[in-house]
Amino acid sequence: MTGSRRTFVVGAGAATAIALLPRGALAAYPDRPIRLIVPFAAGGNADIVGRLVGEQITKALGQAVVVENRGGAGGGVGAEAVAQAAPDGYTLLVGSNGPLTVNPFVNANLKYDPIKDFAPIALTSYVPHGIVVSKAVEAKNIAELIALSKKAPVTIATAGVGSATHMSLERLKAITGADLMHVPYRGGGSLLPDVISGNVKGAMTEFSTALSLHTGGEARIIAVAALQRSKIAPDIPTFDEGGVKDFKAQSYIGILAPAKTPQDIIAALQQAIEKGLAPTGPAAERLAGIGAEIATPEQMTSKGFAEFIRADYEDMRAAAKLAGFVSK
């Protein structure tokens, strides 16, 4: 056997041996920055929570988490990008109602399957929706806003067509008969300046997104879609108190990876998130400070988050029928 032939055989044998080694024996995860896709514009609830969670992953795993806002199509543009990314743990999605459980019922040309194309890592939190109105709007509560809308249409912004807040607005219109004209934006944060200026009369948005406007006197939250008033803003009544009985709506945030991402990577990320959002820790306190509720320990697991998504998927199917959307 010639020297070159022997070299080839030895090299081939070594390559086979390397291929048989566990993935973790080749390189420790993560060994480069992680990209975290927020499928909405900066400033909204998904962006706020996503950046906070990214900080916790960085602290736990020792690699930078780079947040990338990629809005459009109710979160569908960013979700599609993650669904098509390599399943190696370096591209993650800040998932929420819009791209995961609303889009399937409002977008006939969805290019990803929210159930099959993602590996849930952990649910992080949820926050109720609310109606915030410009200071120039005469209505002081939801009953007055509904009455006002029946005299002339009232423009109400949301985070975009197919977003969770859009679905909540459509549900409210269907239940009350209010003439609320939908004005879609590219995220919850992007609509705030127009609410403040009065370019739109109000918005259906996450309580956390609008809270600073309310407390700062720049706009008013006139109703929160929870069964009880918020502990941090007890002056804001619920929809139920305003006559829209049992009206509850919320946005949830969780982290997902592309389907087929190795389980050891999923586990490492899940543990990092769980540790970072410990109930007595500063991150959890920051979320509570904006009106968000931390997910339960079970929901903050891959299995628990997957079950949560499936349940909400069915809830959104019912909501889509109520709102008049074509559903599957």
**Residues 33-81: pLDDT tens digits?**
999 999 988 988 899 999 999 999 999 999 999 999 998 888 899 999 9
Within a domain: residue 229?
no
First to last CA, the chain: 66
Looking at the chain, the whole-number percentage of residues with pLDDT higher than 90 is: 74
Q: Based on the fold, state whether residues 33 and 122 are members of the same structural domain.
A: yes
Within a domain: residue 118?
yes
Q: Is residue 185 within 8 Å of 158, Cβ to Cβ?
A: yes
* Whether the predicted pLDDT of 19 surpasses 60: no
Rounded Cα distance, 143 and 112, in Å: 39
Within a domain: residue 299?
yes
Q: Based on the fold, state whether residues 194 and 52 are members of the same structural domain.
A: no
Rounded Cα distance, 158 and 191, in Å: 7
**pLDDT tens digits for range 233-259:** 999 999 999 999 999 999 999 999 999
Question: What residues contact residue 157 under an 8 Å CB cut-off, 6+ apart?
Answer: 183, 184, 185, 191, 194, 195, 200, 202, 203, 204, 205
Within a domain: residue 100?
yes
At 326 the pLDDT is 57
At 10 the pLDDT is 37
Final residue of a domain: which of 207, 224, 241?
224
Within a domain: residue 220?
yes
**pLDDT tens digits for range 182-215:** 999 988 888 999 999 999 999 999 998 999 999 9
Domain with 140, as residue range(s), is: 128-224
At 158 the pLDDT is 94
At 290 the pLDDT is 87
Structure tokens at 24: 């973790």
**Least confident window among 44-53, 169-178, 312-321:** 312-321
Confidence of residue 18 (pLDDT cuts 50, 70, 90): very low
Rounded Cα distance, 289 and 9, in Å: 63
Degrees to nearest 5, angle at CA 98 with 307 and 272: 55
Sign of the torsion angle spanned by Cα atoms 85, 87, 88, 92: positive
Within a domain: residue 62?
yes
